[in-house]
Amino acid sequence: MEKGEKSLLLLEEQKTRITNLIDDFLNGLKQIMNKEEEFIASRLDGIEKLRMDLRFLRTFVLFGNSTNLNGFYFRMSTHKFKFNVRTQFLFHRDELILEKYHMERLAPLLLEEIGNCLNLKNDYVATAIDIKFYEYLIRHLHDLPKYRSQLLHHQMTEYKILQQVCRHLIDFYPILAANKTSTEYLYPRFQFTTHRVTQFCFDLWTGHHYVSECSSKITSLLIDIIPLELEVLYISTCKLIKESTSKELEGFVKQILKTSPRILQHYLIHLQGRMAGVVAVNYAPTRSISVMMEFLLIFLTDMPKRFIHREKLNDMLAHAGMLTRKISFLVSKLLEEISEDNINEADFSAPDFLQEIEQMKGDIRHIFLKAPESSQLRFPMDDGFLFMNLLLRHLNDLLISNAYSVFLIKKEIGMVKESLEFLISSFRKVRKTLDESTSGVVKDCWVRALDVAYEAEHVINSILVRDKALSHLLFSLPSVTDKIKLIVEQVTRFQLEDKNGDGPLDAKSSSQPTQSTSSPFVEVTVGHEKEESQIIDQLLDEHESELDVISIVGMPGLGKTTLANKVYKNTLVASHFHVRAWCTVSQKYNKSKVLLEILQQVTASEEEKKVDDLAEKLRTALLDKRYLIVLDDVWDIATGEMLIACFPKVKRGNRVILTSRSSEVGLKVKCRSDPLNLELLTPEESWDLFEKRVFGDEGSCPAELSKVGHQIVEKCKGLPLAIVLIAGVIVRGKKKEKDFWLKILHNLDSFISTNINLVMQLSYDHLPCHLKPLLLYFATTQKSQRTPVSTLMQLWMAEGFVDHDSLEEVTQSYLDALISSSLIMVDHIPSESIWWMPSMIKVCYVHDVVHDFCSEKAKKQKFLKLINSGDTFHASDFLHHRLTIHTDNRKLHKKCALFNSNKCLAVSKHLISLKVSGPLDDFRYICHTRPFGLVRVLQLDFIVLKGSLIEEIGSLFHLRFLSIHALGKAIPVSWLNLQNLETLFINIHYSTMVLLPRILQLSKLKHVKINVCSFFEEKEDIQSRILESGNSSNLTTLSGVVISYSEGMSDDALEKFPILQHLDCIIMESQYPPTHDYWFPKLDVLNKLESFIARHKRNEYPSLIRQPNGYHFPTSLKELRLSGFLLRPDLLSAIAALPKLDITELNHCNFVDNKWDASEDIYLSLKTLILRDVQLSEWQVESDTFPKLEKLILKLCALCEIPCAFIDIDTLKSIDLSYVGRELGDSAIEIKKNVADFTGEDRLDVHTSHLTGNQHEETEDEDESD
């Protein structure tokens, strides 16, 4: 016998002896566990843990590749002898001896020996695979969750799937061996997969995994193993079952099909994630694959198992497995071609899965005994137009989102949206009739339209989040579309009758002109809906065929141009006229230019025209057409008359809209219609507030209204909010009619006694439809809560309250309109506790009584629901689209179905916004977010998310606003799926979060604020990480990013952020030496940057900070805030050179030698200078150093006096001092006196507080009390 063979035989003998020894240990421990002794019972967990370790050790020894086991065998034999002796004591002696010789003395020794054995080899490689090995492997998979629960806690769903897949593969192994000819190609994959799973178990057992690593390992394993499962499923159901009559094979097929739905679901979701953010959604093969994946997910989630015969069900599941296998192959091929940059739509072809889907739908439809019952939920009827408008925006967002879940029903969603747009356009003309009547053919039709619209929303949402989606897809959705078609047909018949002037939709049936309720546009102001409706009626009035000029007049800024623009772009108006043209005339009028601009729009031609005959050519072009011309911003009568004379006066229903600041212009150019005068809307307080609010610049209150006006103010009993709200109602109503004022007065008692809800309702009713949800949204805040304007606007945009074009501008105009309505208030609050924020930030809030009204109204409309601490949760709470929870209950997850994984889907499918705040509990809650499939706003301030809980967020495709607390080292790759994300706020705990540069290139992402984040891991090159990311970012705000100044950022890296406006960063000294001297980021490539906030994390001695070789700020910079910097002269000169710099704050900074010589620099545009906690004792300033300075703020400053040159700064308005010496305070007072002496005006305000040695908490100049 050769030496090698002999060594192998000896090794096998060693393995056999050791495994026999381990089996003896296991049997002995089993006997001990069966002993009914209290002493044994208290130690069962420890004994069972030891048995698990021994079983792992047996597998390691028996099937591993260790070659040196001699010493281990002898030591284990010694322990076995001791074990036998103590076991004898255990069974035959009294409890005192048991206690003396109990098993826990031996357990540490055994575990030590196991560890020594494992150190022989730090990984696991199986040398042989047989059925016994597979049995051991299954046992290990079963054991691990008991003793590694901390590692597997958040991944138990995936781990159970892994167990199932391994069970299937192991059960298939004998079949594999018995059918070698057909299955030989699977052997290498089986061996590779077995090794992967065994190594995972081994690492988990030995503690080589951390939680994050364990999560990624399980995910990676499933990605690799499930395709093998699909192959086994395919070969079993499509090949072997047809060739064999084996009962074993038949039983295996039934078992694998029974558990396949969950496995297939998990894998399809994974495939969707792989495609997201990588493959273009408008790529034809992508659409085909995505539609099939979504249908399979719906089928697997909502299979009608009760109605399907077992054999038929198995056939359908086998078919689903075959399709999943085909999709897996296509996705892999597609991604491979993309990675090689070799993709060509003409070359890559995917099957047209639509026929497959229709066939499966047909098969399933015949299986159901009946269609599911339609939803019994009904939307409140008091503001159906609000619901309809929000639903239309929701449907429009779905259509443009390109979400994979939408592809399957995109055609139906488009049909529903188009039909509802037609219905709301038709019913809007008779809205007042609908609001006032309780019956009638039109009212009944409107009620049915609302019912079917709500049902459509319910059905579509259910399909998209896969809640009973299959039945809704097969029955409910076709039923809903049929119902909508019937209502559309009825309304179309009404419109035909209206042509005779006596139809049910005839606008003249309403006693007053109807109000337009939607069509949001830029800078819409409150109270203009009636005018808009009136103008549209005048434009579309077919009974008036003569040319008519409709003038909109009023003071600047009232929204004249905006109102004209809204009417001009109205779809009904656009379709009514053959041609339309818009021209801004302006004060500097050029006749030829205006006529040419109109002519080019009318003729759709850009060719040059001769100036001499422009008027005649324009007249000829308009002669045979019905036209609408808008002349915007006409300043004088002659201009208006001259331009209108160029338009033919044929009887075709032609119209001209004219806007002007002069009411005289409107009166002179009018043909038939009187000019529309827009009213001024501005809030004030007290009688002066009331008078200014109602009459503005027109003067004081007329004598005939003064008495009732004083009675109204008197009945408010000093409540400022009541005065403002009532004044707002009067402005938006009949401002100069005494009867209207008396109506207000008569309602005041009930108004005061019922928390002003009646007046609130009047104010609410006067709001345009698009502003109502913005007001109601304040119900998501707590009473008196101040919300930063920037955050509020981001939330409004994320909720879909604003159309997608020019979002920021439109949102700002809506905010201005609400402020003008006096329903919301604006304040500026200091941010003393957070230095890097602006000194005063703009916030919005509502009074408590307004908040109460908004809460009740929002609840009644099912617009949103607010749940406070102590409130009881009800099922009806989850019928709302928006849910806000403010709680101090640490058992929220037990009381609320949202945080119960078994109930979450049913109650969350309508949610598009979820905000939860409460006491932060790091790790107690498990908040699964995957069921929130339609959520756009997710704000969780009560839990720190980690692991798979963070990963799940990547499945929320519709998410636009995300604010969370998190524990993790990096943003997960799954977040690349968040293609609609606009705002990202993360409060990261205990670490610095690494940003994936590709995340920052999400096309819609604009605002990122993370308390501590980085583009790179330690020792990693920041520049390469950013440069490799490819496309530029659309970010406008980036906050919290860490930049290592030893690495630096090159022009190329920063140029990836071309439109960045706000940058808040930490410039950090690296522990590694710099490769060059330059460290300050080259910001001058950011030519849109307006705000730069930087904190420098430096070493202990500021004087050791390495000197940069230059500072490069962009000239666009308006705000600069620095902390922790050494303020060298070249840095201060670079700041002074910024032409647009408005605010500068220096915090916790050191001046060289504690001196600042600013005499040679000129800060041209600086208006606010803030010095906080700076090392400064000597300051030199000239009279022209700060030529436009308005405010000087000094806090925690050792300076003894303010330079006398500040006396000569004409623009200086205030000096604020706090926590400074008394000498500095006296210096400021002296400057104030000198300014008053030199100018004869007391124009400089000086505020001081907490002066050193001061006896008062705060002192202020005597003249400052007012």
Amino acid identity of residue 1011, one-letter, is N
Per-residue pLDDT at 1209: 93
Contacts of 605 (CB under 8 A, 6+ apart): none
The domain limits of the chain are 1-122, 123-244, 261-369, 384-509, 529-677, 686-791+829-853
- Residue 795's pLDDT is what? 92
Residues 432, 511: contact at Cβ < 8 Å?
Answer: yes
Could you please report the per-residue DSSP string of 147-177?
H-HHHHGGGHHHHHHHHHHHHHHHHHHHHHH
Q: Specify the pTM.
A: 0.65
Q: Lowest-confidence range among 194-203, 693-702, 919-928?
A: 919-928
| pLDDT the model gives residue 153 | 66
Q: Any alpha helices (H) in 207-339, and if so which ranges?
A: 211-235, 241-243, 247-275, 284-301, 310-339
For residues 1095 and 1120, is the Cβ–Cβ distance under 8 A? no
CB of 429 closer than 8 Å to CB of 397: no
Between CA 295 and CA 298 the distance in angstroms is 5
Structure tokens at 856: 């009740």
| CA 339 distance to own-chain centroid | 29
H/E stretch holding 62 reads helix 44-63
pLDDT of residue 522: 31
Residue 55: which pLDDT band, with cuts at 50, 70 and 90? confident
Q: Which residues contact 912 (CB under 8 A, 6 or more apart)?
A: 394, 799, 800, 881, 882, 934, 935, 936, 937, 958
489 residue type, one letter: E
Residue 530 in 3-state DSSP?
helix
Distance CA 356, CA 436 (A): 51
d(C-alpha 321, C-alpha 812), whole Å: 52
Q: State pLDDT tens for residues 1248-1257.
A: 888 875 433 4
Higher pLDDT, 267 or 1050: 267
Give the residue with greater pLDDT, 1184 vs 928. 1184
User: Which of 661, 403, 443 minimizes the C-alpha distance to 557?
Assistant: 661
Secondary structure percentages of the chain, helix, strand, coil, to 5 = 55, 15, 35
Q: Cβ contacts of residue 491 below 8 Å, gap of 6+?
A: 422, 423, 426, 427, 445, 505
Q: For residue range 490-528, list pLDDT tens digits in order.
A: 888 887 776 665 555 554 443 333 333 222 233 333 335
Tens of pLDDT along 75-93? 666 655 555 544 544 444 4
Convert the pLDDT of each residue in 327-340 to its tens digit. Answer: 888 888 877 776 65
Q: Which of 237, 234, 231, 248 has the alpha carbon at shortest distance from 188? A: 231
Please tell me what DSSP assigns to residue 983: E
Give the alpha-carbon dihedral of 137, 143, 149, 155, to 10 degrees: 40
Pairwise CA distance, residues 994 & 729, whole Å: 52
Average pLDDT of the residues in 1076-1104: 73
- Give the C-alpha distances (Å, rounded to integers) separating 759 from 115, 584, 690, 740: 78, 40, 15, 13
Residue 1038, by phi and psi: left (phi above 0), alpha (psi -120 to 50) or beta? beta
Compute the distance between CA of residue 1135 and CA of residue 1115 in angstroms, rounded to an integer.
Answer: 10
Between 452 and 222, name the one with better pLDDT.
452
Q: Which residue has the tokens 């949610």?
A: 911
What DSSP state is assigned to residue 508? G
Q: Output the six-digit token pair for 720.
A: 């400022």
For 653-699, write each residue's pLDDT tens digit.
Answer: 899 999 886 667 888 888 888 888 766 433 344 566 577 667 766 67
Spatial CB neighbours of 518, under 8 Å, sequence gap ≥ 6: 385, 389, 424, 428, 768, 769, 770
What's the confidence (pLDDT) of residue 880? 72
Higher pLDDT, 484 or 352: 484
CB 15 within 8 A of CB 127: no
Checking if the pLDDT of 816 tops 70, the result is yes
What count of other Cβ atoms lies within 10 Å of the Cβ of residue 441?
11
Place of tokens 């038949």: 250
Contact 607, 655 (CB under 8 A): no
Q: Is the pLDDT reported for residue 67 higher than 60?
A: no
Q: Specify whether the backbone of 1064 is left (phi greater than 0), alpha (psi in -120 to 50) or beta.
A: beta
For residue 993, what are its two tokens?
Answer: 């979060």
Confirm if 226 and 164 have CB atoms less than 8 A apart.
no
Residue 627 has a pLDDT of 92
| Per-residue confidence band for 1044, with pLDDT thresholds at 50, 70 and 90 | low
- CB-CB neighbours of 363 under 10 Å: 14
Span 529-677: which CATH code? 3.40.50.300
Region 954-978: mean pLDDT is: 83
pLDDT digits (tens, 9 = 90+) for 993-1011: 777 677 777 888 999 998 8
What is d(CA 1181, CA 1183) in angstroms, rounded to the nearest whole number?
A: 7
Rounded to whole angstroms, the Cα distance separating 440 from 452 reads 18
Q: Is residue 568 within a helix (H) or strand (E), and if so which, with residue range? A: helix 560-568
Question: Comparing C-alpha atoms, which of 1127, 1080, 1087 is closest to residue 1103?
Answer: 1127
Q: Distance between CA atoms of 772 and 491, rounded to whole angstroms?
A: 27
DSSP code string of 414-481: HHHHHHHHHHHHHHHTTHHHHHH-S-SHHHHHHHHHHHHHHHHHHHHHHHHTTSSHHHIIIIIHHHHH
Which pLDDT value is given to residue 1259? 41
Query: Mean pLDDT, the chain, as a whole number?
Result: 75
> Residue 29 carries which side chain, given as an amino acid letter?
L
How many beta carbons lie within 10 A of that of residue 1055, not counting itself?
15
Residue 716 tokens, joined: 């408010």
By CB neighbour count within 10 A (0-12 exposed, 13-18 middle, 19+ buried), where does 1236 fall? middle
Q: What are phi and psi of 788, to 5 degrees?
A: -55, 135
Query: What number of CA atoms fall less than 13 Å from residue 811's CA on the CB side?
Result: 20
d(C-alpha 331, C-alpha 278), whole Å? 11
The full DSSP string for 628-670 is: EEEEES--SHHHHHHHHHTS---SS--EEEEEES-HHHHHHH-
Q: Give the C-alpha separation, 1229 to 1232, whole Å.
A: 5
C-alpha neighbours within 13 Å on the C-beta side of residue 13: 7
What secondary structure does DSSP assign to 692-759, as a single string?
Answer: HHHHGGG-SPPHHHHHHHHHHHHHTTT-HHHHHHHHHHHHHS-TT-HHHHHHHHHTHHHHHHTTTHHH
pLDDT of 525 reads: 36
